[in-house]
Amino acid sequence: MTRRFPWLAAVAGSIAAAMAGAASVRAQDDITETCVDVRIGNDRAAYLNCLNAELKRSVEREQRAPQPNAPLDARSPSNQTGTYNDAAAREHMGNAFGVSSRPQRPVQVFVNPLTSH
């Protein structure tokens, strides 16, 4: 059967590794759950309830761990959070601030490089 499903061996190996980790955690947590591995020919399938319980315990352990502080929060300055910044808007709009929706642009002056000054 492994010839037809070569990925099954890899899955069984990773489940077996997870089960080994689950056994050590189970010993620490004093859980009396019975885990059964089924082997048919060369194919092996682990009892998934044990794996699910191990994953649940690892998630709960991570959720209990202290979370790092975020570098930005609601009290951070607007130029760090990327939101509206009044000083930057005034600089961008120039004398059109509060008057027009188009920013002030200097008048373009074309200087012909072929003529002398």
Q: What are the backbone angles phi and psi of residue 40, rounded to the nearest 5°?
A: -125, 110
With vertex at residue 93, the alpha carbon angle to CA 88 and CA 98, rounded to the nearest 5 degrees, is: 105
In this structure, is residue 109 part of a structural domain?
no
Domain membership of residue 41 (yes or no) is yes
| CA dist., res. 8 & res. 43, Å (int) | 7
Residue 10's domain comprises 6-64
pLDDT of residue 1: 46
Of 88, 83, 117, 115, residue with least CA distance to 103: 88
Residue 11 domain-assigned (yes or no):
yes
pLDDT of residue 60: 93
Domain count, the chain: 1
* Structural domain contains residue 84: no
> How far is residue 18 CA from its own chain's centroid?
23
Residues 73-94 have pLDDT tens digits of: 778 887 777 778 888 888 888 8
- Within a domain: 46: yes
pTM recorded for the entire structure: 0.29
Residue 94 lies in a domain: no
**Structural tokens at position 40:** 């048919």
Per-residue pLDDT of the chain (117 residues; tens, 9 = 90+): 445 666 556 666 667 666 665 555 555 554 556 777 778 888 877 677 788 888 899 999 988 888 777 777 778 887 777 778 888 888 888 888 888 888 888 788 888 888 776
